């Protein structure tokens, strides 16, 4: 990092750009691949797992790292706007009294690492790298502006806790394992409730409490076949879909009266 800032001091953006691009040439290169790039939701879908394999490429000039390597894999699901509501007591009953809008948080967020994040890097570094549920950016709408609140903001904490309970947010300090000193594997668990859309996978290589290489990949979850047909029909042709459902109800009712007729 010191190298980058010295070049930046030279003053030109080009120099900064060039130096960050040239950085990997001195150190490690990260290569990663997913077991598949498409998850298809069929009627029997009950969740699945995508496996990420990666390797840390070194060359003759690569120096030996004192702390060894650590990997942090972050998977971001499609963005959604969500409201967190808090119940309070009004006139003796529990009703929603307060709410906060979270602007475009990932619908799914998994942070997988080789060990506990606070043992990998400093909180400052983790925040800069958006690594970990405590450090990921989850802006909330306040009037017309979006602001980032501290990790102990009650709404933020409740939001993350509820998402964890749904299995959609998770932090696994042992989610990535090194099979050899340079080859690693991570399982990305996808619950059945994981929303459809595209998922970004961000892989960062940490050494000596700093990021020395990164790479990314992506996969998507799509509905196929019958599930896709029904979901699209309901969304695009709501009225006819409703008519068809109502007709189905009448047919079922009529069939029952024929099958069970006793008079």
Partner 1 sequence: MGLFGREPDREPTAPTWTGTVQLYLPIADLPVNMFLVLAMGVAVGFISGMFGIGGGFLMTPLLIFIGIAPAVAVASVSSHIAASSFSGAISYWRRKAIDIPLALMLLAGGILGTTAGVWLFTLLRSLDQLDLTIGLSYVTLLSVVGGLMISESVRAIIREQQGRPVQLRRGGAHTWIHGLPLKVRFKRSKLYVSVIPVWMIGCTIGFIGAIMGIGGGFLLVPMLIYLLRVPTATVLGTSMVLTLITMAGATVMHAATNHLVDAVLALILMVGGVIGAQFGARAGQNMRGERLRLLLGLLVLAVGLRFAYALVVQPEDLYSIRLVGGAS
Residues 6 or more apart in contact with residue 28 via CB below 8 angstroms: 56, 57, 58, 62, 69, 205, 207, 212, 213
Q: Given the complex with partner 1, which of 31 and 243 has the nearer CB atom?
A: 243
107, 245 in Cβ contact below 8 A? no
Binding site for partner 1 (CB under 8 A): 41-47, 49, 80-89, 92-96, 99, 101, 155, 158-159, 161-163, 167, 172, 174-175, 177, 187, 189, 191-193, 195, 223, 226-228, 230-231, 234-235, 238-239, 241-246, 248-250, 252-257, 260-261, 263
Nearest alpha carbon to residue 221 among 15, 34, 78, 8: 78
Q: Could you give the 3-state DSSP secondary structure of residue 222?
A: strand
Nearer to partner 1, 163 or 204 (CB): 163
The nearer residue to partner 1, 1 or 192, going by C-beta atoms, is: 192
Shortest CB 170 distance to partner 1, Å: 8
| Nearest distance in Å: CB 197, partner 1 | 12
Nearer to partner 1 by Cβ, of 44 and 61: the residue is 44
Question: Least distance (Å) from partner 1 to the CB of residue 103?
Answer: 10
Check: CB of residue 233 under 8 Å from CB of residue 256. Answer: no
Contacts of the segment 134-137: beta carbons below 8 A, 24+ positions apart: 136/74, 136/109, 136/111
CB of 162 to partner 1, least distance (A): 5
């Amino acid at each position: 990092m010191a190298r980058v800032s010295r070049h930046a001091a030279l003053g030109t953006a080009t120099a900064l750009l060039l130096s960050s691009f040239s950085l990997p040439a001195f150190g490690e290169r990260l290569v990663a691949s997913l077991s598949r790039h498409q998850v298809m939701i069929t009627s029997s879908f009950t969740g699945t797992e995508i496996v990420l394999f990666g390797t840390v490429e070194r060359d003759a000039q690569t120096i030996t790292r004192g702390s060894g390597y650590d990997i942090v894999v972050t998977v971001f699901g499609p963005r959604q706007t969500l409201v967190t509501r808090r119940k309070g007591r009004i006139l003796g009953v529990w009703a929603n009294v307060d709410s906060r809008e979270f602007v475009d948080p990932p619908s799914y967020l998994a942070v997988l690492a080789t060990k506990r994040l606070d043992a990998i890097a400093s909180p400052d570094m983790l925040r800069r790298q958006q690594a970990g549920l405590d450090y990921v950016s989850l802006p909330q709408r306040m009037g017309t502006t979006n602001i980032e609140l501290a990790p102990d903001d009650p709404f933020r904490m409740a939001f993350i806790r509820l998402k964890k309970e749904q299995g959609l947010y998770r932090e696994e300090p042992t989610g990535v394992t090194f099979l050899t000193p340079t080859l690693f594997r991570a399982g990305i668990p996808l619950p059945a409730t994981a929303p459809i859309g595209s998922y970004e996978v961000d892989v960062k290589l940490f050494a000596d409490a700093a990021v020395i290489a990164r790479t990314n990949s992506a996969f998507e979850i799509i509905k196929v076949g019958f599930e896709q047909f029904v979901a699209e029909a309901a969304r695009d042709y709501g009225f006819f879909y409703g008519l068809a459902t109502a007709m189905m109800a009448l047919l079922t009712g009529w069939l029952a009266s024929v099958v069970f007729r006793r008079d």
